[in-house]
Amino acid sequence: MLDLVYSPVSAVLLAGHLLFGAVLGNASGVGWVLAVLVTVFVFRLCMFPLAVLQTRPLTKHEIGTETTDPPQFPLVSFTTRLVVQIVLFIGLLQVWKSFDRTGRGVGQLGMSLEQNASSPNYLFSADDVQAMLSSRLFGAPLVARITTPRAELRAFALFGGAVSTPAIALVALTVAVATATLTVINGSTSPLGYFARHRVRPTPLLNAISRWVLPVLVVLAGLVLPIGMLVYLLGNSACTWLEHRVLTRRLTTVAPAHDDPRSIGRTADGEPIYPVIGYTAAGAPVTANQAAPGTLVHARTNSMAVVALVLGVCAGPLAIPFGHVARSQIRRTREHGVGRLDTGLPLARHHRRPDHRRPRDSARSHLI
């Protein structure tokens, strides 16, 4: 059944190899790395609709067009995407291991070096297999791993020169640490975090795994996976980072007004209630059913709040009356500026003299 995976994976990887090999040479390690990255990008681009389906409930929840209830976790799309990624990883790992079939481990055939170099590999010809065996990335073969026995490493001397375990370890651990770092960043920006903040099961557990467990597993994978597969994991993490940037922007963008807005409830009289999607230049709220193209502007910042912040820094207690006026205006107009008040008023109180008001006990003792 997995043969249906090996062929398309080999086809995309071969296309990338032919493209970059024509420019950099068939045995170029950089060319093979770029071919792997192209393979990752192509398959992640095909899976992008599944990622969009994962964030659709969040988009609806954030813009308030559906309900104030917690968003529903799209378990089907999440599971489908995870299974596809696992299958693609297994498929590429099998294709990659088939470039070196001299070992006697799982999936190896125990071929001699000459037999391996003269045997085609899926869609790759014998010349492509020899080009892979000769490729180096900073002196390390792309099909080698840190745990490759020394006897097998000696076989690479006929293709690209002798190699050493320290050179392999330096490249493999560098790629693994870079991948783990990107994995940590992706865990903090993952859409799973949005679901986890709303306590939608099982996202708290999944979010914890993506943030703390996966980086450790990636570093451990650097010890046992070939360098080429570590490059695949790095490219996959880079695509995830880019994907999160795009999807997070969708979550923070307000949906445009449309002709048939959805209500979020009904009044006691049965009249529909529409969400507030913006404010007019005068600060009045505009609901979805009232919006017309070009009529909405971003809510402005209250000018009294700005004055209170400046006075809180420079003139202390003079900011207090302006702050209270600004707070009452913000309640009425829904303008921005609450953060400036929260900064300016404490500063104004801090500027007061510490002996402005004596404690009761001191005053009482003075009278006595």
- The mean predicted confidence, pLDDT, of the chain is 76
- Between 247 and 23, name the one with better pLDDT: 23
More reliable by pLDDT, 68 or 204? 204
The pLDDT of 139-147, averaged and rounded, is: 91
pLDDT average, residue stretch 126-154: 88
| More reliable by pLDDT, 299 or 265 | 265
Instruction: For 164-200, write each residue's pLDDT tens digit.
Output: 899 999 999 999 999 998 888 888 778 777 777 777 7
CA–CA gap between residue 63 and residue 262 (Å, rounded): 12
pLDDT of residue 333: 61
pLDDT at 30: 94
The tokens of 272 are what?
A: 């529909």
CA distance 200 to 244: 19
Token pair of 276 as six digits: 């507030």
Query: pLDDT confidence of 357, banded at 50, 70, 90?
Result: very low
3-state secondary structure of 121: strand
pLDDT class for 291, splitting at 50, 70, 90? low
Q: What CA–CA distance (Å, rounded) separates 34 from 165?
A: 24
Compute φ and ψ for 98, nearest 5 degrees: -75, -10
Residue 124 in 3-state DSSP? strand
pLDDT of 312 strictly over 70: no
Q: What is the 3-state secondary structure (H, E, C) of 178-196?
A: HHHHHHHHHHHHCCHHHHH
- Would the pLDDT of 225 be above 90? yes
Supply the DSSP symbol for 136.
E
Instruction: Of 200-204, 227-231, 334-338, give the range with the top mean pLDDT.
Output: 227-231
pTM: 0.65
Asked if the model's pLDDT at residue 341 lies above 60, the reply is no
Asked whether the predicted pLDDT for residue 51 surpasses 60, the reply is yes
What confidence score (pLDDT) does residue 103 get? 67
pLDDT digits (tens, 9 = 90+) for 230-239: 999 999 999 9
Query: Has residue 122 got a pLDDT over 60?
Result: yes
Token couple for 319? 């900011």
